[in-house]
Each structure stands twice: as structure tokens, then as C-alpha cells.
Amino acid sequence: MKHHYYWAFIIFLSIQTISAQKIQTIDSLNAILVQNSSLKTDSLIIIFENNLKDAQKIDYKKGIGEAYKNIATIYGYEANGEKRVEYNLKAIRVFEENDLKPQAANLYGEMGYGMKRDNMEKAQYYMNKGLKIAEAGNYKEVLDRTYNNYGVLKEMQGQLDSALYFYKKGLAIVENRNYTEGLPYSYSNLAGVYSQLGNYKLSREYFYKAKSIREEIKDRKGIAENYTQIGEVYLTEGKPKTAISFFKKSLPIARNEDYRFLMQYTYQQISEAFKRLNQTDSALYYFERYSVFKDSINSLETSKKIAALEVEYDTEQKENQILQQRAEIIEKDLQVRRKNLYIYGSLGFAFLLGLLGYLVYSRQKLKNDQLKKESELQVALAKIETQNRLEEQRLRISQDLHDNIGSQLTFIISSLDSLKFKLQNKDHKVTDKLTEISLFTAMTINELRDTIWAMNKNVITAEDLQTRISNFIGRAQNSKDSIQFNFEYENAGIPEFVFTSVEGVTIYRIIQEAVNNAVKYAGAKKIAISLLTGQKSSFKVEITDDGNGFDLNNYDSGFGISNMKKRANDINALLEIKSTQDSGTSIFLQSKV
């Protein structure tokens, strides 16, 4: 018996030694600074994904969270906002569930910084959350970076004094810690503010100090950023030729590092510099390069997918809290059973065997119950996965519409504007026609966005429809300021009234058709739209104008009345039109319920 215990002890020590060595390797790989690495981003992703698998095999929580965080950082450089948020949320989940507060504080700050261009409100929310945890624990290694990043948010909002305050707080901690890798961030941030304050010489001095350190530590991405930043200072100072030379130094480095956001921004700055030099061909060339990057990076669906991931994360946190409470109840139950075991142990070996048998039975029963629950959970997850796949298919279709057709239409508008610029003062008929085509293309883009808006929703709330109609009326008012528009919405029934996606978009299209007819053909001075929602999904829409009106028995098919009637019939609604010549027109649309 003692011999068996000896070998068990030896095996235990061997396992512990191997685990310690694996943990050390995992930590070493996770400590690689993504910004300073000479490896390509796709190579780094493979390294960290393998490191993640190794950490998962030994259930090393800190290693799992850090690997998730590093993968998110790499996706950020690739401009994949959806993947960046997905992996950051996975890392946060691991850190919070295992009480890894410094790591959680740092990542909240990084998430806020990463969202600064997409959603400033969310960025400040996550940044403040990280600061609160870091300041409570006095985590210096987190505070220096978070103060600097928070200064960036203030700078983007034009709060330069606040930005300087946070940058200097961050720099003081970096210098106190003698943290070389952190100095370039602080220097670059201070330089940016000084440039905005008009102190260009001091701004460049700080940028050059940052670049010098980044060259020493071989931070290629940071060097590319500094070249672009120095170019910005010269451009702001009114020296576009010098600025272009620095922008062009940045581009090959950013391209080699696959730093897409920086490439997009630098193309935009070069275009602006050539525009100031009145070199329109070069300006247009670089603006088109910028537009290609912008359309590929800032897709319409990215922000929606990020918001969906955040909702998923919040929901899962609540579910985890419930599971944790259940686990605590089970743990307390096991503790009670162990105490009973110790009390009755003195009654004798026979009683102990009986009690052990009871525990084996109880645990087996508990295991069977858990297996049953896991089976039910798998069925539920399968249903959710099916729904998610359908949703992903719909999102993919709408994204393809936006990325392909939307970007092509945008390029057409840009090309038409360029032709107008070249033909100005030459042929007014041609430029007028180009303007007409450009406006039609812009209207087509709006129609495309409306279609994508409808595709992305299973239901459309009355509030969503109200907002969409208001935006449309606002655009109509801007184009025809001589016409007085009025829109009223009243909910006389269900508090949170919803339409199906087909009903919502059909009602919106009929209102569009009616308003466009009143503007184009009726010569109306006043147009009024009202929307009323009631009980049992009932609704009523009324569009009236004081225009010329027309004879219902002899009307022009170009007014689109047959099209409106078909739309109403598609959603099982009634459409009634009242109009006489010189007395205006009223259109009534209501549900049959």
C-alpha cells in the first residue's frame, strides 16, 4: 500500500514540474510585444493560436486570457474590428472569472482605445472601467498606458488641456518605472497636442524622440506611425511638399507590417497635401486609394456585429453568474456531506464503507443529472447555432451589397465629381447632366442603405420606422426648403409596437412614393405625414398635400399609384386615394385588422 502511495507522489511531482515548464513557455510567448515584432501578422496569429491551445490543454487561465488578448491586438492591426472585439471579450471573460484584475483593467483600457474611431461613448465607458480597476489596485504597469490612451480620447474630442494632463500623468509613471517601450507613446501623444497648439518645433522634437527609441527597440509599426505624424505637423504648418516626403516614408513600412488603418489614414493625408499643392490628378489618385481602404475597413456591418458581440457578452456574463451561484450551492452541499463523513467516521470502518457507498451513489446520481442537463443544453445550443447561421447568411448578403455595389456607386460619384471639376466653365449642359447623374447615384446609395436596413431586422419597431421617416423628411426639406413638411406619430395602443420587416419597409416606401409625387408633380407648398399605431398590430398612415391634385379617373401612371397599391396588397393593407384637380391629394394606408 505504501509502495503505491510513493509512486503516486512521484507521478504528481513530475506532472507539476512539466506544468510549470509549460506555463513558463506560454508566458514567454504571450510576452512578445506585437507592436515591436518583425513577424507578419498572419505568422503572429498562428503563434498565439498555438499558444492558446497549449494554455487550454493545462487549463492555465492567465495564459488563455493573454493569448486571446494578443490575437485581438493582431486583428486590430489587420482592421478586422469584429474579430478584435470578439477575442477581447473572450479575454475579459477569462480575466474576470479568475480574478485577474490587473489584466482585466489593462484590457478594458485597450478595448476603449480600440473603439475610439467607431464609438466614442463606448470607448470612454470601457476606458473608465479600466481606470477604475487600475486606480483601485494602484497597478502602475496598467495606469501608465491607460492614462496615455485616455488622453487620446480627450484629444479626439478637442479637450487639449485634459489631454495634456493625462499624457503627463502617463509619462511620469513611465519614467518612474524606467519603462523604455512606453516612452514613445507618451512622447508621440504630447507631440500631437503641441502640434494642435501651434508649437510645431516642439511637436517635431517629441516625435523624433519617439522615433529614435522605436528604432532602437525595432518597433516597425511605431516608426511608420511617427513618419505619418511628422508629416501631419508639416502639413498643418503649411508645408505640404515636406509633408508628402514623410508620408511616403511611412507607407512602405505600414504595407510591409500589414498595418491597414495607418495605410488608409496616410493615403488620405497625401491626397490632402496634393490638393493643397493644386495637383488634382495626384490628389484624386490617392483619395481613390484611401476610399478603397475605407470601404473595405469601415463596412456598414462592422458596428452592428460589434454591438451584437457586446450584447452576447453581457448576456453570457449574466448566465455565468447564475451558473456560479448554482456551483456554490453544489459546493456547499458537498461540504456538508464531508462534515458528516468526518463525524460518523469514528463509528467504525464498516459504517465508513457504507457512507462511502452512499457518496459514490450520490455522485453518480449527480453526474447523471449533469449529463442530462448537458444533453438539454446541447440541444438548445444547436437551435441557437441554426438561428445564428441564418442570421449570418442574411448579414453576409447585406454586407456584399454594401461592400460591392455601395463602393462602386461611391466610386462613380467620385469620378463624376472629378469630371465636373475638369469640365467646369467649358460646357454647362454636360456639367449639369453630370450633376444630375451624381444626384441620382447618391439617391441610389440611400435606397441601397434602406434595403440593407430592412434586411438586417426580423422586426422593425415603431420607433425605428419613425426615425427613418424623420430622416427622409429631413433630406427632402434640405432639398426643397420652399416646401413645409410636417410629420406626426401617435401610439394609441401597444407600448412597444413592432412591424414585421416587410410591413416596415413597405410603409416607408409608400410614404417615399407619395412625398416624391407631391414634390415633383403636384407643386405642393405643404406636405403632412401622420402615423398612428393601435391595438393588435393595427396601423394607419395619412399623407396629404395642398398641390394641384389630379383626376382619379384619368391619372398619369407615372405617379406610381399602381405601384403603391401593389405594395399595400403585399402586406394585406388597404390603400385609399382622394384627389381632385386644384384641391390637393390625400393618401390613406391602414391595416385590415
DSSP string, 481-519: TTSEEEEEEEE-S-TT-EEEHHHHHHHHHHHHHHHHHHH
The answer to whether residue 549 scores a pLDDT higher than 80 is: yes
The answer to whether residue 43 scores a pLDDT higher than 70 is: yes
Q: Which three cell numbers stand for residue 590?
A: 391602414
pTM (2 decimals)?
0.41
Q: What is the pLDDT of residues 388-417, one digit of tens each?
A: 665 565 555 555 555 556 556 666 766 666
CA distance 358 to 354: 6
DSSP string for 433-472 = HHHHHHHHHHHHHHHHHHHHHHHT-SEEEHHHHHHHHHHH
Give CA separation, 321 vs 89, 96, 176, 274, 330, in Å: 16, 11, 39, 56, 14
User: Residue 472's CB: how many other CB atoms inside 10 A?
Assistant: 20
What contacts 8, CB < 8 A, 6 or more positions away? Answer: none
pLDDT (average), residues 466-484: 86
The answer to whether residue 2 scores a pLDDT higher than 50 is: no
Q: Which residue has the higher pLDDT, 69 or 332?
A: 69
pLDDT (average), residues 521-540: 87
pLDDT (average), residues 30-58: 76
User: Residue 373's CB: how many other CB atoms inside 10 A?
Assistant: 10
The answer to whether residue 234 scores a pLDDT higher than 90 is: yes
Q: What is the pLDDT of residues 47-74, one digit of tens each?
A: 888 888 888 888 888 888 888 888 888 8
Q: What is the mean pLDDT of the chain?
A: 79
Best-predicted range by mean pLDDT among 79-83, 109-113, 511-515? 511-515
CA distance 542 to 4: 88
Domains 197-298 and 459-591 share a fold: no
Residue percentage of the chain with pLDDT more than 90:
17
Q: Which residue has the higher pLDDT, 82 or 488?
A: 488
With H, G, I as helix, E, B as strand and everything else as coil, classify residue 587. Answer: strand
pLDDT (average), residues 65-90: 82
* Cβ(308)–Cβ(86) below 8 Å: no
Pick the closest to residue 536 from 483, 574, 592 (CA basis). Answer: 592
What per-residue confidence (pLDDT) applies to 113?
Answer: 82
Least reliable range by pLDDT among 38-47, 82-91, 187-196, 496-505: 38-47
What per-residue confidence (pLDDT) applies to 270?
Answer: 94
Give residue 364's identity as a one-letter amino acid code. Q
CA distance 189 to 192: 5
Kindly report the CATH class assigned to 197-298: mainly alpha
What per-residue confidence (pLDDT) applies to 466?
Answer: 87
What contacts 272, CB < 8 A, 6 or more positions away? Answer: 235, 283
CA distance 144 to 122: 21
The answer to whether residue 299 scores a pLDDT higher than 80 is: no
What contacts 538, CB < 8 A, 6 or more positions away? Answer: 493, 590, 591, 593
Q: Which residue has the higher pLDDT, 106 or 427?
A: 106
pLDDT (average), residues 373-400: 62
pLDDT (average), residues 361-387: 73
pLDDT (average), residues 318-330: 60
What per-residue confidence (pLDDT) applies to 150?
Answer: 87
CA distance 412 to 391: 31
CA distance 58 to 46: 19
Q: Which residue has the higher pLDDT, 123 or 323?
A: 123
Q: Which residue has the higher pLDDT, 184 or 22?
A: 184
The answer to whether residue 104 scores a pLDDT higher than 50 is: yes
What per-residue confidence (pLDDT) applies to 252?
Answer: 92
- Ranges of each domain in the chain: 197-298, 303-418, 459-591
Question: What confidence tier does 76 reach under pLDDT thresholds 50, 70, 90?
Answer: confident
The answer to whether residue 10 scores a pLDDT higher than 60 is: no
What per-residue confidence (pLDDT) applies to 146?
Answer: 87
Least reliable range by pLDDT among 40-49, 292-301, 554-563: 292-301
* Cβ(215)–Cβ(249) below 8 Å: no
Diameter over CA atoms, the chain: 110
Least reliable range by pLDDT among 126-130, 250-254, 584-588: 126-130
R_g over Cα of the chain: 32
Least reliable range by pLDDT among 135-139, 194-198, 533-537: 533-537
**Residue 468, class by beta-carbon neighbours within 10 Å (0-12 exposed, 13-18 middle, 19+ buried)?**
buried
Question: What confidence tier does 301 reach under pLDDT thresholds 50, 70, 90?
Answer: very low
Pick the closest to residue 97 from 393, 323, 360 (CA basis). Answer: 323
Q: Which three cell numbers stand for residue 487?
A: 410629420
What per-residue confidence (pLDDT) applies to 537?
Answer: 76
The answer to whether residue 318 scores a pLDDT higher than 90 is: no
With H, G, I as helix, E, B as strand and everything else as coil, classify residue 539. Answer: strand
The answer to whether residue 550 scores a pLDDT higher than 90 is: no
Give CA separation, 202 vs 205, 273, 301, in Å: 5, 22, 41
The answer to whether residue 91 scores a pLDDT higher than 80 is: yes
Domain spanning 459-591 has what CATH number? 3.30.565.10
Q: Is the C-alpha dihedral spanning 44, 45, 50, 55 positive or negative? A: positive
What per-residue confidence (pLDDT) applies to 300?
Answer: 42
Question: What confidence tier does 312 reach under pLDDT thresholds 50, 70, 90?
Answer: low
Residue showing cell 438586417: 456
